[in-house]
């Protein structure tokens, strides 16, 4: 009898653990995303979804997790499908805004620029203070030569988040297109003040050098190009300036 009781206890505990597994896998998928392990996040999210026992809200969230993992793994079509499933199931507005934004990034990576703009616009509609979505939409506008709406998006992004390095960097590029070089320098400098990743910061650094050059300030331009060279000596698009300023020998 004691053996039977012990066996029943083990089975009940095992059953409870099994019932918790999809939620545990969902949490593991989230943790893997935070550490940048996209393959592991995809594995855990798939296992959680395949169990078929997640509550609708949790299921929508996990589809979003797997979409993020697959986007980073460049499985773009599958990522779009997962984001769409998450949106179809339903999410609170601020969470749905982030899924729209992330689906927009997958669309952008797949060169579906009009779709990306639609998704970024939906993200902004659901969360008007969502800085990243403004920046992302502005990038698409600027790529397509629509400088004024791009400039407005970058400005709106900074209203929502004044410390957005990407917004400052991209608005600086818009100022360059408009030939407002002093304003561009101010934005590139602001971007550099908040960007901690040297590989990310090299973009506004190099562009600030171009703005100094456009103003005829070659000493300042040289300093920025020299710093950019230290971080990204092999960047193909920078090679001509490196040669021009004697940085490549």
Say which CATH number the domain at 237 has: 1.25.40.10
- 164 and 80 housed in the same domain: no
Q: Is residue 11 predicted with pLDDT exceeding 60?
A: no
Shared domain for 64 and 99, answered yes or no, is: yes
Say if residues 174 and 141 touch (Cβ distance below 8 Å): no
Q: Say how many domains are in the chain.
A: 2
In a domain, 2, yes or no: no
Range from 96-100, 117-121, 190-194, 195-199 carrying the lowest mean pLDDT: 195-199
Give the number of other Cβ atoms within 10 Å of residue 31's Cβ: 13
Q: Say if residue 31 is in the same domain as residue 61.
A: yes
Percent of the chain with pLDDT over 90: 90
In a domain, 138, yes or no: no
Q: Which of 65, 100, 128 is the last residue of a domain?
A: 128
Averaged pLDDT of the chain: 92
Contact between 110 and 76 (Cβ < 8 Å): yes
4 located within any domain: no
**Same domain flag for 166 and 227:** yes
3 state SS for 54-89: CCHHHHHHHHHHHHHHHHHCCCHHHHHHHHHHHHHH
Q: What is the pLDDT of residues 41-61, one digit of tens each?
A: 999 999 999 999 999 999 999
Q: Residue 16 falls within a domain, yes or no?
A: no
User: Is residue 189 located within the same domain as residue 234?
Assistant: yes
Q: Report residue 248's pLDDT band, with 50, 70 and 90 as the boundaries.
A: confident
From 98, 128, 158, give the residue that closes a domain: 128
- Which residues, at least 6 apart from 187, have a Cβ–Cβ distance to it below 8 Å? 168, 169, 171, 172, 175, 204
Instruction: Determine the Cα–Cα distance for residues 79 and 232; give it in Å rounded to an integer.
Output: 31
For residues 117 and 157, membership in a common domain is answered with no
109 with 152, same domain: the answer is no
Counting residues of the chain whose pLDDT is more than 70, the rounded percentage is: 92
Contacts of 102 (CB under 8 A, 6+ apart): 64, 67, 68, 71, 83
Asked if residue 75 lies in contact with residue 89, where contact means CB atoms within 8 angstroms, the answer is no
* 197 and 248 housed in the same domain: yes
Which residues touch 80 (CB under 8 Å, ≥6 apart)? 67, 103, 106, 107, 110
Its pTM stands at: 0.87
Of 134, 127, 172, which is closest to residue 152 (Cα–Cα)? 134
- Report pLDDT for 19: 47
**Residue 136 placed within a domain:** no
**Nearest-angstrom CA–CA distance, 220 and 19:** 63
Q: With bands split at pLDDT 50, 70 and 90, how would you rate the model's confidence at 17?
A: very low
Q: Based on the domain organization, do 157 and 218 belong to the same domain? A: yes
Note the pLDDT of residue 14: 41
- On whether both 119 and 66 belong to a single domain, the answer is yes
Write out the residue range of the structural domain in which residue 192 sits. 145-249
The last residue of one of the domains, among 97, 128, 159, is: 128
* Whether residue 121 sits in one domain with residue 45: yes
Q: What's the pLDDT at 2?
A: 40
DSSP annotation of 146: -
Same domain for 117 and 200? no
């Amino acid at each position: 009898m004691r053996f039977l009781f012990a066996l029943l206890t083990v089975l009940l505990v095992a059953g409870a653990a099994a019932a918790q597994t999809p939620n545990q896998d969902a949490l593991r998928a989230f943790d893997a995303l935070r550490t940048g392990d996209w393959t592991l996040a995809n594995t855990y999210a798939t296992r959680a979804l395949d169990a078929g026992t997640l509550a609708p809200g949790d299921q929508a969230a996990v589809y979003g997790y797997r979409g993020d993992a697959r986007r980073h793994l460049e499985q773009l079509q599958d990522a779009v499908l997962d984001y769409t499933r998450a949106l179809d199931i339903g999410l609170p507005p601020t969470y749905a805004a982030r899924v729209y934004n992330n689906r927009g990034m997958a669309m952008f990576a797949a060169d579906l620029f009009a779709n990306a703009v639609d998704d970024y616009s939906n993200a902004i509609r659901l969360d008007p203070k969502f800085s990243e979505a403004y920046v992302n939409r502005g990038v698409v506008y600027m790529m397509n030569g629509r400088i004024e709406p791009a400039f407005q998006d970058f400005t709106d992004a900074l209203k929502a988040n004044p410390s957005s390095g990407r917004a400052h960097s991209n608005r600086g590029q818009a100022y360059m297109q408009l030939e407002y070089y002093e304003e561009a320098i101010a934005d590139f400098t602001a971007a550099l003040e908040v960007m901690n990743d040297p590989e990310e910061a090299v973009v506004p650094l190099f562009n600030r050098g171009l703005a100094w050059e456009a103003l005829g300030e070659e000493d300042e331009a040289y300093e920025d190009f020299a710093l950019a060279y230290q971080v990204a000596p092999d960047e193909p698009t920078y090679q001509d300036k490196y040669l021009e300023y004697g940085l490549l020998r």
